[in-house]
Amino acid sequence: MVDVAEFEHLIGSYDISDLLDDIASADPPAYLRRCFAEGSSAPVLSWNRIQQLAACAIVVDCVADGRDYEAFEAELIADWRMHYAQDFAKLKEPAAAALHRAQGEEAGLKDQPDAAPELRELERRLTSA
């Protein structure tokens, strides 16, 4: 079990359970694909949007790379692994691209300097696994 404390500056204040509910109530791969596409193409990313992108990327990391993060519902993640593993694996590249774009977002990160290294680490996990 991976402790989400290593991403505490990035998603510590973000409501993970609401995000998981939103993803679960939609078509999960389509929801995530849309999130990453919007994150990559938006003219400006707010801090809240960067947090959403990071949390969605962690969901992809959970499902596609088999990591279990303590704040993410294990039963739900296991279900998504069973039903969507291949679809989520295809989302690693768009997720990494959206995180890379977020790293260049001065406005969204200006008050969150400790979040930048966490974004880089999450992007690294998606591109190296």
Domain locations in the chain as residue ranges:
4-128
Question: Would you call 121 exposed, middle or buried from its count of C-beta atoms within 10 A (0-12, 13-18, 19+)?
Answer: middle
- What angle is formed at CA 97 by the lines to CA 2 and CA 9, rounded to 5 degrees? 40
Helix and strand numbers, DSSP H then E, in the chain? 8, 0
Give the per-residue pLDDT at 50.
95
Residue type, 83: H
Three-class SS state of 69: strand
Tell me the pTM: 0.93
User: pLDDT tens track of the chain, all 129 residues?
Assistant: 555 567 988 998 899 999 999 999 999 999 999 999 999 999 889 999 999 999 999 999 999 999 888 889 999 999 999 999 999 999 999 999 999 999 887 767 888 888 999 999 999 999 985
d(CA 36, CA 76): 21
